[in-house]
Homo-oligomer: A and B are copies of this chain.
Amino acid sequence: MKISARNRLKGKVVDIVKGATTAHVRIDIGNGVIVTSSITNEAVDELGLKIGADAYAVVKASDVMVAVD
């Protein structure tokens, strides 16, 4: 499946914490940068996410803000 989302950041899963319904998954995209994602527990199971596995952090352009110091 090819998706319209402009941002697909490749990395490795470094942390998975499941809550009651919502999980937090952390992906190391290299260069010391960790991206945190909040998805359903169900998605974690369906994708078979495991620590150390390859994965992408995917973000729609309209969900990216810009900041300056």
A residues with a Cβ closer than 8 A to B are 1-9, 13, 17-25, 27, 29-31, 33, 35-40, 42-44, 46-49, 53-69
Residue of B nearest to A40 (CB): B61
A65 with B39: CB separation less than 8 A: yes
CB A39 to nearest CB in B, in angstroms, measures 4
A63 with B53: CB separation less than 8 A: no
Given A1-B8, A54-B69, 13 more pairs with CB closer than 8 A: A1-B2, A1-B69, A2-B46, A8-B67, A21-B23, A21-B38, A36-B61, A37-B61, A47-B67, A48-B68, A56-B66, A62-B63, A63-B63
Pick the contact of A1 from B13, B48, B68 — CB < 8 Å? Answer: B68
